[in-house]
Structure 1
Amino acid sequence: MYAHIRGSVLWVEDDAVVISANGLGLRIRTLPAVLSSVTEGASLELYLHHIVREDSEALVGFPTRDQARLFATLLDVSGVGPKVAIALLATHGPDLLRRALVDGDESLIAKAPGVGKRLAARIIVELGDRMSREASAEDEVGAKGDADRDLQGALRSLGFPAREAKEMAGAVSANAALATAPLADRLRAALKERA
């Protein structure tokens, strides 16, 4: 539902920032580095992940799409919630975290607050091979791959599981008429295909 916001900072909280956009103030959890670098009235742009639970909804925002995508990937791991995923990104950053997953560096991953050795091992088991494949594929990916990843990220932010988002993006990419279409058109096509 929500993928991106650009607006002015109304105020900063301990773990979130409230951004005003078109007269609406949204509370968005974000990385400590973002919180420490913004001030009230400053302009801020974040890529969002919308979390819907049975009893609550929350927005989590990141300065780059890459961080937002990796956050969504981390949430696929059993036992990793938003707080732990933010801690992993805040402690290691996306590049070092991916490298640790590919290398199976359990002790490095366990340095993040809330991540013990057992959870670090589970994260490596569930994401290590996937990160290796992604790293290999990135060398061969052109604009089409970027468009697919953007569409998958948008679908993931709407709550679709990673595998389903990948299948939906693949179906849209197979349609030559949509191959170079804007993301909004590709997203509409994917959702229409799903309905």
Structure 2
Amino acid sequence: MLAHLRPALVLLVLFTLLTGLVYPFAVTGIAQVAMPANANGSLIVRDGKVVGSALIGQAFAAPRYFHPRPSATSAADPQDPSKTVDAPYNAASSSGSNLGPLNGKLIDRVKADIEALRAAGVTGPIPPDMVTTSASGLDPHISPENALAQVARVAAARNLGPDRVRQLVEAHVEGRSLGLVGERRVNVLGLNLALDALR
């Protein structure tokens, strides 16, 4: 029996060391050398202070900023920890809503969002990502159509010409990855930081 047990224990210890220590440290070291910004979370730093990540969305609600798509993330209810409350862009609780297209709660929320957008002055067709959440609830991007639909509100709130804001949006449109994968998109945090940098 010991003849069978000893090789199994040796292999267990060996592979625990290889896959639990050597491999993770090697991959982390290579990532730190080859692409340190990505390995450390794609953090965006302004004036020596971390203001966010290019990979995780933030909740912008002020009229002078471009707004991200809705977020379905939640957090524990401070009044009753057994329940949850909406907490948009809560990175500690990444999740989608899991509500199906025929769910009454989802339909009511989308209708309310559309009415709020119309009341805020959005005209024409409303891009789907203005009223739908992403699978993670933390998507940092919106479609170019979503950003362009917000130009009038942002321009008015900042006393800027709509054409200047539209040019800024168009300058921040990212293409498909490798020219093939995904859709064209705009990083909301990057666009809002560029807005703040305008004089």
Greater helix content? 1
Structure whose CA Rg is larger: 2
Q: TM-score, normalised by structure 1?
A: 0.25
Relative contact order, CA 8 A, sep 6+: which one is greater?
2
Greater strand content? 1
